[in-house]
């Protein structure tokens, strides 16, 4: 039945969400469905869902110049830079001088409860995020 529903949706031009549950998946990047999360941020689920229990993977695109202010997540996460470059810092206060620049292939971690911030200072960037939900983002300013 699920296969029939997927087929009908595709015939109607509606692409089903990829990231409903963590499952076996083989897909090329061109088939991912990006959603706008803000003026300078795009998001696409890959597999799993960060709001529910279990492993999840998603990708996020930040436009050049985008900054995330200090915040933390309630789960441990590992982030891989797929393209572009990103500056990463840890702590409750932004300290540009202490940020580390990571380029394609670079990896950083976000331990649960560890405040961090990022800046796509020099280029657009695509990141792949892997974690285990449920996950929440908590702003340090709150």
% helix, strand, coil for the chain, step of 5 = 10, 45, 45
What are 139's two structure tokens? 């702003």
Structural domains of the chain sorted by starting position, each given as residue range(s) with its CATH number in brackets? 18-139 (2.60.120.10)
Q: Give the span between the Cα atoms of 66 and 81, in whole angstroms.
A: 15
Higher-pLDDT residue of 30 and 23 is 30
- Note the pLDDT tens digit of each residue in 72-127: 999 999 999 999 999 999 999 999 999 999 999 999 999 999 999 999 999 999 99
Could you tell me which residues come within 8 angstroms of residue 134 by beta carbon, excluding any fewer than 6 positions away? 50, 51, 52, 53, 74, 75
Question: What is the pTM assigned to this prediction?
Answer: 0.83
Q: What is the pLDDT of residues 52-75, one digit of tens each?
A: 999 999 999 999 999 999 999 999
């Amino acid at each position: 039945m699920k296969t029939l529903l997927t087929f009908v949706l595709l015939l109607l031009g509606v692409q089903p969400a990829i990231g409903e549950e963590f499952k076996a998946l083989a897909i090329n990047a061109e088939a991912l469905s990006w959603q706008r999360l803000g003026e300078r941020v795009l998001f696409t689920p890959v597999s799993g869902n960060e709001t529910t229990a279990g492993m999840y993977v998603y990708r996020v695109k930040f436009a050049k110049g985008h900054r995330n202010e200090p915040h933390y997540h309630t789960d441990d996460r590992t982030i891989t830079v797929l393209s572009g470059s990103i500056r990463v810092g840890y702590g409750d206060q932004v300290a540009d001088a202490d940020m580390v620049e990571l380029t394609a292939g670079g990896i950083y971690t976000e331990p649960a409860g560890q405040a961090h911030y990022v800046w796509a200072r020099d280029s657009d960037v695509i990141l792949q995020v892997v974690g285990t939900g449920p996950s929440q983002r908590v702003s340090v300013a709150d």
